[in-house]
Structure 1
């Protein structure tokens, strides 16, 4: 198991190195932030001094070397616009995106998996057909349109839930969390529901397909022949056998939700890193853009590593292979 972990850590380090180079080159090849940072009528001397102060007069490879050295020390640079360390700025917004992404993925998992298992267990029932029809809508309807409809229905017409912002928060471990207060939960409900619809539909279809396959297997036939109840078969055999693809989707969807919650955060004015990256792109705040993308790549790599370790815990064949 230790060799398996070391191999995955080395792979993660190589992926992070490659991603940092691609992100840096891609972002620094776009636009000139000096045009945004200083007034258009500034003198050439002021312009040249600003370029030197931000190190933009150096060759691109040298700028990357400086960036990589800072990155290894945990320094992502300073924001051009906010003039504070990028890591501090991103970490201040990250809890909002983390709880929004986690809430949406948990809704998709704890609602979608039971519905998918039921649809796979009784595929010809009317309720199962309705579940599958609803899952098609989850894939087809655009997120921004659903968000506007949710605001119009529950915030404007019914007045049950707030339309935007984060609400009251409680600071735990130096970060503010809105799910710990009733007002924060009310503000979290609509954006989390909006962001979870695609995950919910995916979990339903994945769980249904896995259940249909497992129900026709010899494992279930032998379990029924042994006199086990249907609930025991579903809990001990079906759910366990479909757990690996579900864990994969859960991990990857959590990472993609962190990275691509921009639309939902914009619609609901949710103060997360997605809204921050939109503001940074508008202002050509290169350090924030690079820092955000590197952090997202790091989160993806970390989540994939955790998923690989979960594989080893769920599948005994991987543990035997790792020991070998």
Structure 2
């Protein structure tokens, strides 16, 4: 097990290095932000001075080397637009994005897993057909369309939830969160539901397929023959075997929820990292864009690492192979 963790750690470091190189070079090949930062009537001398102050006059490889050295010390550069550390801008917006992604992940688990197991234990029934129809609908509906429909129905027509913003927050271990108070929770419901729909459908289909497969195993048939109840059968015999691939998918989906929440955040004016990265791309604020990509990359790598550990915990066969 220890050898596997060391191997995964080295692979993670290599992935971070390669992706940082690709991201930095790719971002620096797009446009020149200096013309957005200086006055329209700036002289060539003023433009050259500003480029030198920001390091934009250096070759791309020299800029990357300086970025890499500074990144090892926790410095991902200063924002061209806000003139403050890019990493601090990302961390200021990160709690809102993490809260939204976590709420969407919890909804995906609480709705997708029970419905998927219920449908899997009753193949061909009305419950199975209804669940599979909902999963197809959840996969095909675009999130931006769903968000607008939810705003129109539940915010404009019914007035049950706010149409945008984050609302009041409460401090939890020094981090501002919305779900600890009722008013803040009302602001969280619609964007979390919009972000979660695709994952609910995905988790439901995977759980249904896994449940149908496990239900055909001899130990499940034997448990049924002994008169084990439906709830105990699901929790004791079916769920542990079904959850192994679900854990992997939900771990990877959590990273995607963080990375691709920008559409939902834009629709609902949710003040997270997604809104910041959209504004930074439009303004060619390279340090913020690169810092965002690096933070999301590290999150993905950490999630994969945690998923590997959970695999070892859930599947004793893997523990036996790693020893």
Is the shorter-chain TM-score for this pair beyond 0.5, marking a shared fold? yes
Q: CA deviation at 1:229?
A: 2.8
Equivalents in 1 of 2:245, 2:61: separation in Å? 41
Report how many aligned residue pairs link the two structures.
Answer: 323
Residue 275 of structure 2: aligned partner: 275
Please show how residues 71-90 of structure 1 align to structure 2 within 5 Å. 71-90=71-90
Please show how residues 129-144 of structure 1 align to structure 2 within 5 Å. 129-144=129-144
Please show how residues 60-209 of structure 1 align to structure 2 within 5 Å. 60-209=60-209
Residue 249 of structure 1: aligned partner: 249
Q: CA deviation at 1:38?
A: 0.8
1:218 paired to 2:203: no
CA displacement 1:91-129 (0-9 Å, x = unmatched)? 000000001001001101111100000011112221221
SS in 2 for 1:242: helix
Q: Structure 2: give runs of 5+ residues left out of the alignment.
A: none
Q: Structure 1: give runs of 5+ residues left out of the alignment.
A: none
TM-score normalised to structure 1 length = 0.97
Alpha carbons 1:143, 1:264 under 8 Å: kept? yes
Q: CA deviation at 1:180?
A: 1.6
Q: CA deviation at 1:48?
A: 0.4
Q: CA deviation at 1:319?
A: 1.0
Q: CA deviation at 1:227?
A: 4.0
Residue 309 of structure 1: aligned partner: 309
Q: CA deviation at 1:256?
A: 0.3
Residue 35 of structure 1: aligned partner: 35
TM-score normalised to structure 2 length = 0.98
Residue 55 of structure 2: aligned partner: 55
Equivalents in 1 of 2:9, 2:225: separation in Å? 45
Q: CA deviation at 1:244?
A: 0.9
Q: CA deviation at 1:71?
A: 0.8
Which runs of at least 4 in structure 1 moved beyond 3 Å after TM superposition? none
Equivalents in 2 of 1:255, 1:151: separation in Å? 25
SS in 1 for 2:171: strand
1:11 paired to 2:14: no
Equivalents in 2 of 1:86, 1:221: separation in Å? 57
Gap change, CA 1:198 and 1:122, over 3 Å in 2:
same
Alpha carbons 1:92, 1:175 under 8 Å: kept? no
SS in 2 for 1:159: coil
CA displacement 1:57-105 (0-9 Å, x = unmatched)? 1111111010001111111111110111111100000000001001001
CA displacement 1:4-38 (0-9 Å, x = unmatched)? 21111111111111111011011111110101111
Q: CA deviation at 1:182?
A: 1.3
Residue 45 of structure 1: aligned partner: 45
Of residues 268-277 and 164-173 in structure 1, the stretch that sits farther from structure 2 once superposed is 164-173
Q: CA deviation at 1:230?
A: 3.0
Equivalents in 2 of 1:77, 1:56: separation in Å? 12
Alpha carbons 1:102, 1:254 under 8 Å: kept? yes
Equivalents in 2 of 1:95, 1:231: separation in Å? 37
Equivalents in 2 of 1:188, 1:228: separation in Å? 40
SS in 1 for 2:56: coil
